[in-house]
Amino acid sequence: MLANLAKKILPRSLWVYHCNSGACNGCDIEILNVLTPYYDVERFGIKVVGSPRHADVMLISGAVTRPTLPLVKRAYDAMPNPKLVFGIGSCTIGGNMWADSYNVCGGADQAVPVNYFVPGCPPRPEAIIYGVALALGLVPQQAAPVELKQMEFPIDMYERNKAWEDRNVIYELLK
């Protein structure tokens, strides 16, 4: 659904704005890496721009920290519509290991509505390209979304075994 929409509203070259909201640099160097000769996203018309006002897509990396929260919001507001947001890296999904630290607000969704997440710590350049291509409908989706249940902590042995079995059931379903 979103892929069709994205294809419709952003039919030509994507201009990407890269916004670091509190990442460790790992995701940032992989984002830069996709521009370099081995991956070269410019062949798909994807280009990194310096200003959010020129951008169609925001790549946000890292957990959102307290000082950057208003800044990320402002950068997002500066982008012209229609726009998409990609969360790059595990930290954007709920904040990863920093999630509840005193200076961290949480994942990227605390600041801006995120359309797609690319997990990984850091995600490989291939994963970033695949994520963007998937969003634009250039490649078929190859994995089904899986809903995982949040367990109460601490988990005792019985529940742990049960969770393991549940996980195997999910893998059976995926096959």
Question: Does 128 sit near other proteins (CB under 8 A)?
Answer: no
Q: Given the rule CB under 8 A, which of 24-32, 142-150, 153-161, 163-171 is the region that contacts other proteins? A: 24-32
Question: Does 2 sit near other proteins (CB under 8 A)?
Answer: no
Tell me the residue ranges of DSSP E strands in the chain.
Answer: 15-20, 47-49, 57-61, 64-65, 84-88, 104-106, 116-118
DSSP 74: H
Distance CA 105, CA 123 (A): 22
DSSP 175: -
Q: Given the rule CB under 8 A, which of 27-35, 80-88, 110-118, 159-167 is the region that contacts other proteins? A: 27-35
Question: Does 131 sit near other proteins (CB under 8 A)?
Answer: no
Q: Which tokens sit at 144? A: 């089904």
Residue entry with tokens 């988990």: 155
In one-letter notation, the amino acid at residue 26 is G
Question: Does 110 sit near other proteins (CB under 8 A)?
Answer: no
Question: Does 107 sit near other proteins (CB under 8 A)?
Answer: no
Closest approach of Cβ 41 to other proteins, in Å? 13
Looking at 85, 122, 132, 134, which residue binds other proteins (CB under 8 A)?
Answer: 122
Distance CA 23, CA 124 (A): 15
Which residues make up the interface to other proteins (CB under 8 A)? 18-30, 32-33, 36-38, 50-52, 62-63, 65-71, 75, 96-98, 100-104, 121-122, 124
